[in-house]
Amino acid sequence: MQHRDTETDRCCRMLLGDVFPNFEADSTFGRMKLHDFLRDSWGVLFSHPGDFTPVCTTELGRAAQLSPEFSKRNVKLMALSVDSLQEHHDWSKLVMSLHEPGSQFPFPIIADDRRELVEKLGMLDPEEKDHNGMPLSARCVFVIGPDKKLKLSILYPATTGRNFDEILRVIDSLQLTAHNRVATPVDWRPGNSVMVPPRIPETEAAMLFPAGVYTKDLPSGKKYLRYTPQPNTHHTESRFRNVRGVLDSGINTSIEWP
């Protein structure tokens, strides 16, 4: 008998750069088709184990609070779980009563009570099961670009709630680097210095980054730690302090340029 490899045989093990499936599903905003819903926006699709559960309630509440910040970045949020549409409607009202009383829930929650999407997208957590012994949806995060391609995926266990401020930070990096030939270092925040990728020669870097490039001196003499002020974007400010003196005393990736 041939045994299936459940990890590799799942219908949709997407890689970064793959076009995200254009699924159609019912949601609290009505019937939706993913690509039509996104249009030319970025998208964040995130799943949760279950409605009316403690960690998920805090997550959806925080996502709702941060919804204006996602909108500023032209990002549309979508939640998903294996609960019914009616449960989603009832739960979303509870979430808003706790976090934003009097407000409507700001983004759709997709109903996947047949588990078709979570299976197709590899969103199930085999360690967490419902009262019938069926696996629940894990805490997945998919960031989808305007080109409908997967830009980032993160998978959390059911026991660990997500940090939506970190998801915003990652989106800031993705949007910045999508239009500028730069990379963002560890703990980068909007307004911090960014890095010049090693593949860009020094002469080209001088033309690409007229604000200047600072190269950190290394014992090896190699010149791959290169910093430049963050290029201007539509949603971040261009206020930078001088980085050179601080970098001379050690690598600090949270420094701002003048």
**What whole-number distance in Å separates Cα of residue 18 and Cα of residue 39?**
17
Residue identified by tokens 């305007």 is 146
**What whole-number distance in Å separates Cα of residue 243 and Cα of residue 74?**
31
DSSP state of 149: B
**DSSP string computed for 174-230:** HHHHHHSS-B--TT--TTS-EE--TTS-HHHHHHH-TT--EEPP-TT-----EEEPP
Which three-class secondary structure state does DSSP give residue 71?
A: helix
Q: At 140, list the tokens.
A: 């997945």
Catalytic residue among 11, 12, 56, 140: 56
- Clarify whether 11 is annotated catalytic: no
**Contact in structure between 31 and 38 (CB atoms under 8 Å):** no
- Between the alpha carbon of residue 249 and those of residues 78, 183, 186, 217, 220, the distances in Å are 44, 22, 18, 10, 17
Nearest alpha-carbon partner for 12 in 140, 111, 191, 128:
140
**What whole-number distance in Å separates Cα of residue 79 and Cα of residue 66?**
14
Q: Which residues carry out catalysis?
A: 56
